[in-house]
Amino acid sequence: MAPPTTIFYGAVISPESLTSYKALPRCLLSVGASGTIDWMVDDVQEHVLQETLAQKGCIDVDVITLPAGEFLLPGFIDTHTHAPQLPNLGSGQQHELLDWLSDVTFPMEAKFSDVEFARRTYESVVRRVINCGTTTCCYYGSLHLESTKVLADIVHASGQRAFVGKCNMDRNCPDYYVEASAEVSINETKQLISHIRSLASRPNAQSSSRPHLVQPILTPRFAISCTPELLTSLGKMASSDPSLHIQTHISENKAEIAFTKELFPDAPHYAGVYDSFGLLRPNTILAHAVHLEDTELELIAKRKAGISHCPTSNFNLSSGVAPIGVYLDRGIKVGLGTDVSGGFSPSILTCIQNASIASKILAIQAGTHGTSPTQFSNRQLPVATLLYLATLGGAEVCHIDKTVGSLAPGMSFDALLVNTRSIAGNPGLWSPDTDTPGKGKEALDGLLERFLFCGDDRNISRVYVEGRFIGGNNYRANN
């Protein structure tokens, strides 16, 4: 059931560009029955609230009034995570990528051949990811068709917006965890796509004319694990269906890059491998991108593919520090990815903190200080940029920025109700109610920074997707 019209009155924060966001302390925002933001009126003083509502034709309506210390924010977009790796969170930090895959990751993912184990685990995975404030998530499943169907079913039932793919991986993987052939891989991928697209007609499907909340995504794991035959077939599928999204890894680790070049000696570089099979396009998500060459950047920019920046994982697996500022300066789309369990946290907030740290490390190395209004390369990323990457930047990478990523009329209400008050119970966020903050824009700027650097799931009271209340701390308390 679609929710009825919901009207909020209070603070709203929404990204505008890489360097600016709107912070509206007294905004009136109406979400229609379809889950879309119908209208917003800025700077509504309390004494004209009823009058303003009446002008909008709203008489005798309930209004959700946010107290000081609470605000609405676009939901977080996690552009890269692995659902079957959540049970490994915080394990194996001593490894680098290739050893970590063989010693930690593949053994865990192999367990998802057991559909009941997958069902039990994915129920918890999706609930945790939603409660961390992720309204859109790009999930890698395992290689298993049935378990990945189950993942899609659970995401669908939860009301989260997501892309769900099963890994394509038919070589250079252990015997116990590899696809039998490129043909099997392609057949099962087609079955998964049909299954996910059929969810649109199932109960809990939204009634709007937008694309369905859960969409399939082609997921060649990485070049190393895919035969040219498999990549060729995936490329054909992609070219026959331009709406189909694609996600994969690129240039995460130096040993991985060397092995890729060995396997594809004719490709000019790592990005060139994917491009030669037609897999680099505006709805392609490239995770990591730590060590790209200049000509690769040119190609990625030309193809309008997006990059998922995974700083927690890049630190944790000693992969390196991705020069995100350089990519932004070249106009490449960038979003954030938790990359669980290469990253040790399912929260985009941790990712934001580590994206800030990564940018500061590059600035320290370059000897630059402060931010620059015209340049991101070798500069620390300001709060506005971090917010952008976590929301609208992620939406661009997912090619859904006309639908989500900001709060504005016509956009889907995919949003978080953030609560920075002490009642939220997070001792790491100093509550403004302890110290009586103002209610103006400056106070709101301060709250945003505190939330991004000190917040956790307890500060996310409500998670909305397309207007539906699907998770968050208040949701947990009532379910």
Residues 131-160 that bind its own copies (CB under 8 A): 131-132
In angstroms, give the least distance from the CB of 54 to its own copies.
40
Residue whose token pair is 């009941």? 116
Please choose, out of 25-33, 47-55, 213-221, 423-431, the segment that lies near its own copies by the rule CB under 8 A: 423-431
Measured from the Cβ of residue 346, the count of other Cβ atoms closer than 10 Å reads 23
Q: Nearest Cα to 90, choosing from 343, 404, 273, 307?
A: 343
In angstroms, give the least distance from the CB of 449 to its own copies.
6
In angstroms, give the least distance from the CB of 288 to its own copies.
14
- Binding to its own copies by residue 161, rule CB under 8 A? no
- Binding to its own copies by residue 371, rule CB under 8 A? yes
The binder of its own copies chosen from 429, 444, 463, 470 (CB under 8 A): 429
Please choose, out of 117-125, 201-209, 280-288, 403-411, the segment that lies near its own copies by the rule CB under 8 A: 117-125
Nearer to its own copies, 34 or 319 (CB): 319
- What is the C-alpha R_g of the chain? 22
Q: Write the interaction track for its own copies spanning residues 443-472; mark x where CB under 8 A is met and - where it is not.
A: ---x--xxxxxx-xx---------------
Please choose, out of 164-172, 243-251, 322-330, 365-373, the segment that lies near its own copies by the rule CB under 8 A: 365-373
- Binding to its own copies by residue 288, rule CB under 8 A? no
Which pair of tokens denotes residue 17?
């560009």
In angstroms, give the least distance from the CB of 131 to its own copies.
5
The binder of its own copies chosen from 320, 329, 330, 469 (CB under 8 A): 320
Please choose, out of 74-82, 154-162, 215-223, 311-319, the segment that lies near its own copies by the rule CB under 8 A: 311-319
In angstroms, give the least distance from the CB of 89 to its own copies.
5
Nearer to its own copies, 283 or 313 (CB): 313
Q: How far apart are CA 67 and CA 290, in angstroms?
A: 42
Nearer to its own copies, 322 or 411 (CB): 322
Residues 34-93 that bind its own copies (CB under 8 A): 86-91, 93
Nearer to its own copies, 283 or 354 (CB): 354
Q: Write the interaction track for its own copies spanning residues 373-412; mark x where CB under 8 A is met and - where it is not.
A: -------x-xx-----------------------------
The binder of its own copies chosen from 356, 378, 459, 461 (CB under 8 A): 356
Which pair of tokens denotes residue 99?
């050893």
Nearer to its own copies, 220 or 311 (CB): 311
Q: How far is C-alpha 341 from the geometric centre of its chain's CA atoms?
A: 15
Nearer to its own copies, 35 or 323 (CB): 323
Measured from the Cβ of residue 434, the count of other Cβ atoms closer than 10 Å reads 9
- Binding to its own copies by residue 127, rule CB under 8 A? yes
* Three-state SS letters, the chain: CCCCCEEEEEEEEEEEECCEEEEEEEEEEEECCCCEEEEEECCCCHHHHHHHHHHCCCCCCCEEECCCCEEEEECEEEEEEEHHHHHHCCCCCCCCHHHHHHHHHHHHHHHHHCHHHHHHHHHHHHHHHHHCCEEEEEEECCCCHHHHHHHHHHHHHHCCEEEEECEECCCCCCCCCCCCCHHHHHHHHHHHHHHHHHHHHCCCCCCCCCCCCEEEEEEECCHHHCCHHHHHHHHHHHHHCCCCEEEEEECCCHHHHHHHHHHCCCCCCHHHHHHHCCCCCCCEEEEECCCCCHHHHHHHHHHCCEEEECHHHHHHCCCCCCCHHHHHHCCCEEEECCCECCECCCCHHHHHHHHHHHHHHHHHHHCCCCCCCCCCCCCCCCHHHHHHHHCHHHHHHCCCCCCCCCCCCCCECCEEEEECCHHHCCCCCCCHHHCCCCCCHHHHHHHHHHHHHHCCHHHEEEEEECCEEEECHHHHHHC
Nearer to its own copies, 38 or 99 (CB): 99
Q: What is the C-alpha end-to-end distance of the chain, expressed in Å? A: 18
The binder of its own copies chosen from 33, 39, 58, 96 (CB under 8 A): 96
- Binding to its own copies by residue 442, rule CB under 8 A? no
- Phi first, then psi, for residue 381 (nearest 5°) are -85, 125
Nearer to its own copies, 121 or 206 (CB): 121
Nearer to its own copies, 356 or 461 (CB): 356
Nearer to its own copies, 184 or 454 (CB): 454
Nearer to its own copies, 27 or 429 (CB): 429
> Which residues of this chain interact with its own copies, rule CB under 8 A?
86-91, 93-94, 96, 120-121, 124, 127-128, 131-132, 315-316, 318, 320-321, 344-347, 350, 353-354, 356-357, 360-361, 363-364, 369-371, 380, 382-383, 427-430, 434-435, 446, 449-454, 456-457
